[in-house]
């Protein structure tokens, strides 16, 4: 079964659970203006999906995160299963940047919009900058967090590709710490180009937060390089 714009999913557990949980999320969102209820539903969807697919997650370093804090989580990206892994195991309220095509997928797209996730118009650089500014302002105003995959897409072979500076830009503009996340084993659970989730284990390693309070936007390149270097070191160990 093919959804939209190259998103290929054939696993019945993913399809059915996504439809059901998205419908519940949309209905409940009409009674919640904060986005917290849809976020909670998404977390439960992620846990169900992982359980039904036989995916075990070993989450390390969760003590690094203040449940009441706001962060920019920056993770490596090798599989569509990465987002459910993070959703199921990070307890703070967070949203994520997603390519605009995902917002056009039935049920899922409506949930994403109602939950306050942010579409990225990749084809329009000027609009993309405005999106980053909006994301930073949203984090400050709602005291929430954001998940970013700075590679801009999945790595087909698991090798860490170059990082885009958007995540660092948002973190510095919002004045919140960056938390590097290392995801290991996800590409074997749902391989690049595959549509069936396999059972197995994923490690999610939370690294110490990097403060941005004293940084300016000119530091976004250095911050981006630092985060990438930390992830490279963890993936090579």
Q: What is the pLDDT of residues 173-201, one digit of tens each?
A: 999 999 999 999 999 998 887 777 889 99
pLDDT-derived band at 2 (thresholds 50, 70, 90) equals very low
CATH 3.30.360.10 fits domain 12-236: no
CB contact set of 4 (below 8 Å; sequence gap of 6+): 101, 102, 104, 105
Q: Tally the C-alpha atoms within 13 A of residue 126's C-alpha that lie toward its C-beta.
A: 0
- Residue 61: phi and psi, rounded to 5, are 80, 20
CB contact set of 77 (below 8 Å; sequence gap of 6+): 149, 151, 153, 154, 155, 183
Residue 99's closest CA among 86, 111, 112? 112
Q: What is the mean pLDDT of the chain?
A: 83
Residue 10 is predicted with a pLDDT of 47
Tokens of 79: 């599989």
| 27-36, 58-67, 74-83, 127-136, range with the lowest pLDDT | 27-36
How far separated are the first and last CA of the chain, in Å rounded? Answer: 37
pLDDT at 106 over 90: no
How many angstroms separate the CA atoms of 215 and 231, rounded?
21
DSSP annotation of 211? -
Radius of gyration of the chain (CA): 17
């Amino acid at each position: 079964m093919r959804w939209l714009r190259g998103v290929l999913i054939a696993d019945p557990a993913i399809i059915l659970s996504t439809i059901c949980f998205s419908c519940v999320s949309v209905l409940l969102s009409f009674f919640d203006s904060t986005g917290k209820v849809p976020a909670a539903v998404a977390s439960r969807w992620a846990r169900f999906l992982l359980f039904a697919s036989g995916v075990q997650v070993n989450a390390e370093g969760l003590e690094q995160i203040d449940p009441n804090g706001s962060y920019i989580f920056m993770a490596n990206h090798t599989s569509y299963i990465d987002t459910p892994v993070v959703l199921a195991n990070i307890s703070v309220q967070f949203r994520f940047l997603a390519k605009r095509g995902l917002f056009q997928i039935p049920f899922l797209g409506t949930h994403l919009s109602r939950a306050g996730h942010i579409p990225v118009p990749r084809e329009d650089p000027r609009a993309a900058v405005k999106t980053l500014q909006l994301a930073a302002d949203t984090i400050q105003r709602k005291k929430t967090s954001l998940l970013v995959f700075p590679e801009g897409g999945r790595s087909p072979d698991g090798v860490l590709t170059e990082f885009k500076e958007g995540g660092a830009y948002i973190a510095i503009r919002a004045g919140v710490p960056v938390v590097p996340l290392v995801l290991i084993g996800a590409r074997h659970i749902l391989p690049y180009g595959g549509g069936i989730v396999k059972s197995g284990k994923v490690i999610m390693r939370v690294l110490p937060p990097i403060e941005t309070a004293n940084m300016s936007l000119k530091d976004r390149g250095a911050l981006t390089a630092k985060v990438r270097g930390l992830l490279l070191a963890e993936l090579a160990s």
